[in-house]
């Protein structure tokens, strides 16, 4: 328990001092994306890593948040914070309603259904031109404000986004180590046994789906207000895959793993500028290789690998 | 305490159970035996809510519980173990038992994520009772191991500990002695008696006749989906049709 | 008069795309029945078929009659490699890891296609020219007729294969019960490989015959792949007429929807149908429900 708290405090301190060590707003900007991606990856991990239910449509929920905030604040002039809460609540309720029929499906069927759902959202973002601006995007989304502070530069946005990210991480860690977290992992390992032990697996899966969608929506709203401009390409199938890759890299069921996955997959394309659009090859390779050789992800897999190597080394010595 | 009334189960064109009625008395250890394919596991699956019977009713203390899902039955005090142990392999032994306490705790998504005070009190209580049940089954020393690293016999005990943690009225055990050596089977027999002393009614499907005759108060014999006989171990041992059924099979 | 002409037009073009969906759906169903895997890379075989043919004709200057079989063979090789390198070595084959592996494979293939070719769309000339013909008041391309003919032949051949050859019967046995099949001496892993060969060949053929009508590019696989899956779902994942019917229904609904409602939302139709079927009748439209186990 104490160690958990210590780990989180170290993370919080690193997050707090990191911008001071970095020169230039470009890197801070990249870290803002790391934050948003962490929120999304953690949200998806609650569903995929803990409950063992795949979603290939999470980019859609992210997009719903972004467009809801953009439309409500820019077109209808509603207070951004109010719009953000309204969007998160509405999308959670929507996910809760869709969750009952969709989470009845298992494995491959669930994957296809969530993929279909994500693509339907994507088509709406593109086609409802009057509302969303269509393929050319939606611009002029206002910055967030608290009193007289406007979040209009990278440093302020960094603070805002990472505040939300850290809270998401903390709450998810708490959830993971509670009766709900255990029940979710139980469903993952053996749904029948979990139900026999009194876990209402159907309801719990739907609840976690709604929560996961809600957090993704929130991340979408923050993204829209930070960027000021959004377009459908950010919310397509490829981004859903990118999120899955983040979760897989870090490890299913590891909250800090998702943070690491989000960090790697955000930094990687920036570092490998020459790759441009070819990053999907890398994602493909990562997905295949990780699933084959390191199914536990980096956080749990690497110590395991080291442990396996060590006794062998001792014998030689 | 648990009345099984005229249960029939048809899969496709195959009748797995035909008009089986039986009453399980409170505080008894009841054995369900029969040759392979007699419908014992099917009966368990129906009682624990995994299958839904084609016809017939099940009453728990006079209340109709037919067709309720497993999670509702667990709340009402009916739990089971599985023939091919169903543990939560990736979780620790202690966490497995903690899941058994799911029905005994109530914190929701919200209080769990925000670590509200009553949630913390509840977590402490869950941990204490989980440890107590591990001790009850004699595997307290394994608490921090991963469940899928346990040897088969210990896994069986863990599954029983997990089921007991929900403080059931009745525990159904599907072939608890399968795969155990003779020492482990003896330990199991004394554990089953200890469970009864703790006030829990026990029902087991079992092939190990020695164990069944040793621990059971009453026995139900199924053959080809029908009830062949019921009675005390002694009556069953002397029942000619039961002997015929077993000899006929072997 | 005019409206009925339009309807025939929609019907014909719907049947043509529907036939394509049916071929792709059969590919899904064949692999699913042999392995229990939904192969998310199925659409990429379709893309590869089209792209290989384009390259072989325009770059290598081959005659279409040579290029088409070559493209099918090349795609099948990719299918074999995929099965050998990604599916077979997988140790813990849970549904989740299989979903992730086939998705990984699909975007890897797509990425490599982008690297090998480019991001442009490519056109393929019709097999028998691009001179429109008029039938029952509807305007068709000769390519439509090719699509109908090829689809009918392929479906007929697969019917014969599954009913009358040893390998076909063995594959069906695997789909009913792979353990029992292996006990009576059927090499299940070989059948898995077979299923990948057949469905990658079918997928590439679908991609080749549709390419003259719709153009092709590195990223056509995903959309058309999911629609093929939708056809298979409507048909209850059968490797026979259910899926063919499913493809035709989907194709007609789509072309009607595009013509009468909105072409922008045309693609959404397939996904809405997909979700509805999965929610309401996951066993498909034409099958009876199995005994319910709660």
Every domain of chain C and the residues it spans: 2-280
The region of weakest confidence among A80-84, A102-106, C191-195 is C191-195
Contact B88 A198 (CB under 8 A): no
Q: By CA distance, what is B165's nearest residue in A?
A: A197
Instruction: Report chain A residues whose CB lies below 8 A from the CB of C28.
Output: none
Rounded to an integer, the average pLDDT of A115-122 is 93
Q: In what side-by-side order are the strands of the sheet with B218-223?
A: B78-80, B170-174, B201-205, B29-33, B218-223, B226-231
pTM over 0.95, yes/no:
no
Give C247's DSSP letter.
H
Of A183, A207, A211, the CB nearest to B99: A183
Measured between CB atoms, does A128 come within 8 Å of chain C?
no
Place of tokens 């990278």: A154
Contact C90 A107 (CB under 8 A): no
Rounded to an integer, the average pLDDT of A66-74 is 96
Ranges A21-25, B33-37, C193-197, most confident: C193-197
Q: What is the pLDDT of residues A140-188, one digit of tens each?
A: 999 998 888 888 888 889 999 999 999 999 999 999 999 999 999 999 9
Residue B204 structure tokens: 């087991």
pLDDT at residue A246, rounded to an integer: 92
Rounded to an integer, the average pLDDT of B139-160 is 93
Query: Does residue B105 carry a pLDDT above 50?
Result: yes
Of C100, C262, C282, the CB nearest to A248: C100
Query: Does residue B39 carry a pLDDT above 90?
Result: no
Task: Give me chain B's average pLDDT, please.
Answer: 90
Query: Does residue A265 carry a pLDDT above 80?
Result: yes
Measured between CB atoms, does C289 come within 8 Å of chain A?
no
Give the closest-approach CA distance of C290 to chain B in angstroms.
9
For each of chain C's 294 residues, which pLDDT tens digit applies?
477 778 888 888 889 899 999 999 999 988 888 878 888 899 999 999 999 999 998 888 888 889 999 999 999 999 999 999 888 887 667 778 888 899 899 989 998 998 888 888 888 888 877 778 887 777 888 888 888 999 999 988 888 888 888 888 888 887 777 778 777 878 878 888 888 999 999 999 999 988 888 888 888 888 899 899 989 988 888 767 888 899 999 999 988 888 887 777 888 888 898 899 888 887 777 765 443 333
pLDDT at residue C13, rounded to an integer: 86
The region of weakest confidence among B59-73, B174-188, C184-198 is C184-198
pLDDT at residue A1, rounded to an integer: 61
Give the closest-approach CA distance of A285 to chain C in angstroms.
6
- DSSP letters spanning chain B: -EEEEEEEEEETTEEEEEEEEEEEPTT-EEEEE-STTSSHHHHHHHHTTSS--SEEEEEETTEE-TT--HHHHHHHTEEE--TT----TTSBHHHHHHHHTGGG----HHHHHTT-HHHHHHHHHHHHHHHHHHHHTT-GGGTTSBGGGS-HHHHHHHHHHHHHHT--SEEEEESTTTT--HHHHHHHHHHHHHHHHTT-EEEEE-S-HHHHHHH-SEEEEEETTEEEEEE-HHHHHH-HHHHHHHHHH-
Contact A197 B100 (CB under 8 A): yes
Of A52, A112, A238, the CB nearest to C229: A112
Which part of chain B is CATH 3.40.50.300? 1-21+75-83+168-243
B230, β-bridge pairs = B220
Instruction: Report chain C residues whose CB lies below 8 A from the CB of A288.
Output: 86, 101, 104-105, 108
pLDDT at residue A308, rounded to an integer: 63
The region of weakest confidence among A260-264, B232-236, B244-248, C156-160 is B244-248
Rounded to an integer, the average pLDDT of B43-48 is 91
Instruction: Report chain A residues whose CB lies below 8 A from the CB of B109.
Output: 175, 180, 207-208, 211
pLDDT at residue C251, rounded to an integer: 92
pLDDT at residue A78, rounded to an integer: 92
Measured between CB atoms, does B69 come within 8 Å of chain A?
yes
Domain range A2-316, its CATH number among 1.10.3470, 3.10.450, 2.50.20, 3.40.1580: 1.10.3470
Instruction: Report chain A residues whose CB lies below 8 A from the CB of B80.
Output: 196
Ranges A94-103, A299-308, B43-52, C237-246, most confident: A94-103
What is the rounded distance in angstroms from the CA atom of residue A102 to the CA atom of residue A100? 6
Contact C293 B69 (CB under 8 A): no
Q: Cβ contacts of residue A179 below 8 Å, gap of 6+? A: B98, B101, B102, B105, B107, B112, B122, B123, B126
Of A171, A175, A195, the CB nearest to B70: A195
The region of weakest confidence among A51-65, B184-198, C265-279 is C265-279
Computed on alpha carbons and rounded to an integer, the radius of gyration of chain B in Å comes to 19
Measured between CB atoms, does A54 come within 8 Å of chain C?
yes
Instruction: Report chain A residues whose CB lies below 8 A from the CB of C86.
Output: 288, 292
Instruction: Report chain A residues whose CB lies below 8 A from the CB of C229.
Output: 112
Fold classification of B1-21+75-83+168-243 (topology level): Rossmann fold (3.40.50)
Closest CA to C238 of C200, C283, C272: C283
Measured between CB atoms, does A140 come within 8 Å of chain C?
no
Q: What percent of chain A has pLDDT over 70?
A: 93
Q: How far is CA A67 from the centre of its chain?
A: 17
Task: Give me chain A's average pLDDT, please.
Answer: 89
Torsion (CA) C83, C85, C87, C89 in degrees, nearest 10: 130
Contact A108 C95 (CB under 8 A): yes
Task: Determine the CATH number of domain C2-280.
Answer: 1.10.3470
Instruction: Report chain B residues whose CB lies below 8 A from the CB of A186.
Output: 88, 91, 99
The region of weakest confidence among A1-5, A141-145, B114-118, B122-126 is A1-5
Give the closest-approach CA distance of C233 to chain A in angstroms.
9
Instruction: Report chain B residues whose CB lies below 8 A from the CB of A253.
Output: 90
pLDDT at residue A317, rounded to an integer: 33
pLDDT-based confidence at residue B249 (cuts at 50, 70, 90): low
Contact C95 A102 (CB under 8 A): no
pLDDT-based confidence at residue A313 (cuts at 50, 70, 90): very low
């Amino acid at each position: 328990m104490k160690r958990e708290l210590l780990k989180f405090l170290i993370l919080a301190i690193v997050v707090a001092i990191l911008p001071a060590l970095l020169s230039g707003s470009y890197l801070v900007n990249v870290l803002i994306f790391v934050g948003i991606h962490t929120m999304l990856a953690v949200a998806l991990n609650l569903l995929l890593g803990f409950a063992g239910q795949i979603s290939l449509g999470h980019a859609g929920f992210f997009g719903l948040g972004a467009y809801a905030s953009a439309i409500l604040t820019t077109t209808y002039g509603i207070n951004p914070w109010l719009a953000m809460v309204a969007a998160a609540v509405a999308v959670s309720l929507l996910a809760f309603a869709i969750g009952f029929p969709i989470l009845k499906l298992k494995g491959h069927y669930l994957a296809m259904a969530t993929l279909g759902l994500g693509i339907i959202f994507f088509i709406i973002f593109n086609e409802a031109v009057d509302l969303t601006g269509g393929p050319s995007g939606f611009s002029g989304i206002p910055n967030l404000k608290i009193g007289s502070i406007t979040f209009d530069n990278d440093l302020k946005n960094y603070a805002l986004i990472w505040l939300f990210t850290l809270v998401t991480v903390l709450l998810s860690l708490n959830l993971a180590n509670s009766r709900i977290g255990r029940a979710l992992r139980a469903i993952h390992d053996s749904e029948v046994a979990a139900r026999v032990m009194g876990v209402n697996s159907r309801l719990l899966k739907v609840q976690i789906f709604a929560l996961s969608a809600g957090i993704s929506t929130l991340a979408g709203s923050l993204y829209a207000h930070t960027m000021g401009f959004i377009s459908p390409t950010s919310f397509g199938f490829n981004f859903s895959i990118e999120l899955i890759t983040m979760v897989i890299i870090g490890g299913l069921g590891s909250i800090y793993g998702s943070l690491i996955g989000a960090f790697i997959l955000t930094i990687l394309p920036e570092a490998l500028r020459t790759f441009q659009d070819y990053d999907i090859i890398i994602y493909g390779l990562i997905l295949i290789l990780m699933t084959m050789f390191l199914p536990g992800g980096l956080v749990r897999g690497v110590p395991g690998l080291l442990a396996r190597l060590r006794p062998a080394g001792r014998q030689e010595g | 305490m648990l009345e099984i009334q005229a249960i029939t189960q048809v899969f496709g064109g195959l009748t797995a159970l035909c008009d089986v009625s039986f009453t399980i008395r409170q505080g008894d250890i009841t054995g369900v035996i029969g040759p392979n394919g007699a419908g014992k596991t099917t009966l368990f699956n129906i009682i624990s809510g995994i299958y839904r019977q084609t016809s017939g009713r099940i009453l728990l203390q006079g209340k109709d519980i037919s067709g309720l899902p497993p999670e509702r039955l667990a709340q009402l005090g009916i739990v089971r173990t599985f023939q091919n142990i169903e543990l939560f392999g990736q979780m620790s032994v202690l966490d497995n038992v903690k899941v058994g306490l799911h029905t005994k705790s109530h914190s929701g998504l919200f209080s769990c994520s925000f670590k509200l005070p009553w949630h913390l009190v509840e977590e402490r209580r869950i941990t204490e009772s989980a440890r107590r049940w591990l001790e009850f089954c004699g595997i307290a020393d394994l608490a921090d191991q991963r469940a899928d690293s346990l040897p088969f016999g210990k896994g069986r005990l863990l599954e029983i500990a997990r089921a007991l943690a929900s403080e059931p009225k009745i525990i159904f055990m599907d072939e608890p002695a399968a795969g155990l050596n003779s020492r482990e089977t003896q330990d199991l027999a004394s554990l089953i008696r200890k469970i009864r002393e703790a006030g829990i009614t026990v029902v087991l499907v079992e092939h190990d006749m020695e164990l069944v005759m040793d621990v059971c108060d009453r026995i139900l014999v199924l053959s080809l989906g029908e009830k062949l006989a019921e009675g005390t171990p002694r009556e069953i041992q002397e029942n000619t049709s039961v002997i015929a059924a077993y000899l006929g099979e072997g | 008069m005019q409206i009925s002409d339009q309807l025939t037009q929609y019907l014909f073009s719907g049947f043509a795309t529907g036939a394509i969906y049916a071929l792709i759906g059969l590919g899904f169903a064949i692999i699913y029945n042999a392995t229990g895997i939904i192969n998310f890379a199925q659409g990429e075989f379709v893309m590869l078929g089209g792209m290989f043919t384009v390259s072989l004709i325009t770059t290598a200057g081959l005659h279409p009659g040579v290029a088409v079989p070559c493209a099918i063979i090349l795609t099948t090789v990719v299918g074999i490699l995929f099965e050998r390198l990604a599916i077979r070595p997988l140790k813990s084959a849970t549904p989740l890891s299989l979903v992730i592996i086939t998705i990984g494979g699909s975007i890897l293939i797509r990425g490599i296609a982008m690297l090998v070719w480019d991001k442009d769309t490519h056109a393929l000339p019709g097999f028998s020219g691009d001179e429109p013909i008029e039938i029952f008041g509807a305007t068709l391309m000769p390519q439509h007729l090719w699509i109908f003919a090829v689809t009918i032949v392929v479906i007929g051949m697969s019917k014969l294969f599954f009913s009358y050859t040893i390998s076909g019967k063995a594959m069906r046995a695997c789909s009913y019960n792979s353990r029992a099949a292996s006990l009576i001496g059927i090499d299940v892993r070989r059948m898995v490989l077979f299923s990948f060969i057949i469905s990658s060949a079918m997928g590439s053929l679908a991609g080749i015959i549709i390419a003259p009508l719709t153009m092709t590019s590195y990223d056509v696989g995903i959309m058309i792949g999911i629609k093929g899956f939708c056809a298979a779902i409507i048909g209850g994942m059968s490797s026979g007429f259910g899926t063919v019917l499913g493809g035709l229904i989907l194709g007609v609904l789509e072309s009607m929807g595009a013509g009468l409602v909105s072409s922008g939302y045309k693609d959404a139709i397939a996904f809405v149908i997909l979700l509805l079927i999965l929610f309401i009748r996951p066993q498909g439209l034409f099958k009876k429900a199995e005994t319910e186990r709660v």
